[in-house]
Amino acid sequence: TLFVHPRIGDKAAAFLSREHKLLIGGKWVPAQSGKVFDTHDPGTGRVIARVAEGDAADIDLAVKAARQAFEGGPWSRITPSDRGRLVWKLADLLEQHAEEFAELEALDNGKPLTTARRGDVPLSVDMFRYMAGWATKITGETLSISTPGNYHAFTVREPVGVVGQIIPWNAPLLMAAWKLAPALATGCTIVLKPAEQTPLTALRLGELIQEAGFPDGVVNIVTGFGPTAGAAIAGHPDIDKVAFTGSTEVGRHIVNAAMGNFKKVSLELGGKSPVIVFPDADMSVAVPGAAQAIFANSGQVCTAGSRLFVHKKAFDRMIDGLTQEAGKIRVGHGLAEGTQMGPVISEVQLERIAGYIDQGKAAGATIASGGKRVGSEGYFMAPTILTDTKPDMSVMQEEIFGPVVCAVSFDDDDLEQIAKQANDSIYGLAGSIWTRDLSTAHKMIRRIRAGRIGVNVHGSVDAAIPTGGFKQSGWGREKGHEGLHLYTEVKSVIISL
Ligand code: ADP
């Protein structure tokens, strides 16, 4: 039997009690295999819903539906303005059902209800609105060529075609919005696979997509596992592009599988982002900023500030302050009153995090705060601060994806050396610089090899700000105007006059 959390509202409860099928070609259908799988509440470990388990056969049907919608039918003839209007309508519908989505997200992912209410849901609404505006502004260029009298040349941007999108569990609705919004604005058709840990809000969004009036087959949603449904997307010969957000390890599988038909690939992968605090920083801002950078969403954020570099003059103040901040965080069930940090997503993840902390300890790191599981029900990890960490330790090199920060003090005033330490990573997703000195900030901005730099703030997930990585953090940038380029092909046209 399914567990119904007492704090879940009527609408979310009604959704949970429905059967959860796959959205293919505008119809909700069971998996071809008839299989289903459980989704859990990470705050209790209990089963909250059962969802259709799609695999290669279902992906194939979804791709056929997406291809049909792309090549013919109303979507292929829709005006940019009408496309934008549909995306905007989806944003309105999502906003109207905000509380239901926030509850479902808090229950399925574990995050605090307040986070889902103030963060995930409104940010997703914003993302759809932002991209709705771009639908009418996708243009090419008139080209200045060497023989202007005899030729006229220009470019047009066309939708890339059928797009496969594979998303993670850390911000399930927002990741769906980041993927769907630009693909819809540009006129693509989509096969979306939510993470197996958190399929619910994407399925509810599928219902709203139908209500908004998108033609059948424009958005297809197939729930299922990575090695089956996910791999079928990455390897499908009739998908033109795959967009993936998740681990670097899986990113490598995606790239390999995509080679079969050379589908376009965009990847948003791991990170090990530095937070660099200079001695002149305003510590009343830097301390809570560093805490937020690593403890938000239980550290399950690809851009999390997981390596904290602090000048030795400010180091003790930072560690004392951070320890106090960590101690104040109310860890609890996402739906409980006053919760500030929820569980991590699963037992596997909890054990992985604990394993890293043990490795750090064994290698000589000191636990300044936390380091342990909280309670025995659900998958809660205490906010953890490690000191005495060295560059070659696994905790300093690998993405932990949990509320664990490695603090390091530097006594160097040579920015080159500081940047070298901060850049000592296979990743390059984000970073932040904390200083009152404009010159230090600008010099560091140039030296940090990462896709997003914050100054006196760790970052922002605003729809207008491109996100993505240098180095092994991925390919391409999502969001902003840049994000549209992932979903269009450029066609050059030359006309002999
Ligand atoms: P995590 O390790 O944090 O769970 P993953 O990178 O494994 O993150 O998962 C992100 C998404 O990738 C999920 O939707 C998952 O199902 C999918 N996935 C996992 N393995 C594969 C694979 N081999 N091919 C395609 N997708 C996969």
* ipTM for the predicted complex: 0.98
**Ligand 1: distance of its center to the CA of 286 in Å?**
34
Burial 76-99 (b: 16+ CB within 10 A, else e): eebebeebbbbbbbbbebbbebbe
Residues whose beta carbon lies within 6 Å of some atom of ligand 1: 166-168, 193, 195-196, 225-227, 230-231, 234, 246-247, 250, 253-254
**Torsional sign, CA 423, 428, 432, 438:** positive
- Encoding tokens for residue 220? 């297809």
**Ligand 1: distance of its center to the CA of 267 in Å?**
12
The radius of gyration of the chain's CA atoms, rounded to the nearest angstrom, is: 23
Q: Whose CA is nearest to atom 13 of ligand 1?
A: 195
Query: Which regions in the chain score pLDDT beneath 50?
Result: none
Residue 146: predicted pLDDT = 87
HSE-CB of 149 using CA atoms within 13 angstroms? 0
**Ligand 1: distance of its center to the CA of 95 in Å?**
29
Mutate to test the pocket of ligand 1, among 222, 248, 250, 472 (most ligand atoms within 8 A of CB): 250
| Pair 208, 181: CB distance under 8 Å | no
CA 364 to chain centre: 33
Nearest to 220 by CA among 57, 12, 36, 58: 58
Residue 147: predicted pLDDT = 80
Active site residues per annotation: 268
Q: Which residues contact 119 (CB under 8 A, 6 or more apart)?
A: 174, 461
Cα dihedral 206/210/216/219 (nearest 10):
-30
Residue 461: predicted pLDDT = 93
Residue 2: predicted pLDDT = 86
Residues across the chain:
497
Q: Whose CA is nearest to atom 24 of ligand 1?
A: 231
**Ligand 1: distance of its center to the CA of 284 in Å?**
39
- Encoding tokens for residue 49? 């819903």
Measure Cα distances from 257 to 196, 241, 249, 298, 417 in Å: 20, 12, 13, 32, 39
Q: Whose CA is nearest to atom 19 of ligand 1?
A: 226
Burial 367-397 (b: 16+ CB within 10 A, else e): bbbbbebeeeebbbbbbbbbbbbeeebebbe
HSE-CB of 202 using CA atoms within 13 angstroms? 35
Which is it for strands 366-369 and 384-387: parallel, antiparallel or unpaired? antiparallel
Mutate to test the pocket of ligand 1, among 37, 108, 166, 267 (most ligand atoms within 8 A of CB): 166
Nearest to 479 by CA among 207, 183, 46: 183
Atom of ligand 1 nearest to the CA of 253: 23
Distance from C-alpha of 66 to C-alpha of 53, rounded to nearest angstrom:
19
Residue 41: predicted pLDDT = 97
Atom of ligand 1 nearest to the CA of 246: 6
Distance from C-alpha of 60 to C-alpha of 229, rounded to nearest angstrom:
10
Nearest to 136 by CA among 209, 208, 78: 78
| Pair 272, 293: CB distance under 8 Å | no
User: What one-character DSSP code corresponds to residue 220?
Assistant: E
- Encoding tokens for residue 432? 């932040």
Nearest to 236 by CA among 216, 262, 218: 262
Atom of ligand 1 nearest to the CA of 166: 14
Distance from C-alpha of 117 to C-alpha of 120, rounded to nearest angstrom:
7
Q: Whose CA is nearest to atom 21 of ligand 1?
A: 226
| Pair 127, 177: CB distance under 8 Å | yes
**Ligand 1: distance of its center to the CA of 194 in Å?**
9
Q: Please report where in the chains the tokens 């709705």 appear, as a residue.
A: 132
- In angstroms, how far is the first alpha carbon of the chain from the final one? 72
Q: Please report where in the chains the tokens 């509850």 appear, as a residue.
A: 103
**Ligand 1: distance of its center to the CA of 255 in Å?**
13
CA 276 to chain centre: 23
**Ligand 1: distance of its center to the CA of 247 in Å?**
7
Distance from C-alpha of 411 to C-alpha of 310, rounded to nearest angstrom:
9
Which is it for strands 373-374 and 404-410: parallel, antiparallel or unpaired? unpaired
| DSSP 3-state of 313 | helix
Residue 3: predicted pLDDT = 85
Atom of ligand 1 nearest to the CA of 257: 24
- Encoding tokens for residue 346? 């699963």
Atom of ligand 1 nearest to the CA of 233: 25
Residue 149: predicted pLDDT = 84
User: What one-character DSSP code corresponds to residue 429?
Assistant: S
Which is it for strands 470-471 and 427-428: parallel, antiparallel or unpaired? antiparallel
Q: Whose CA is nearest to atom 23 of ligand 1?
A: 227
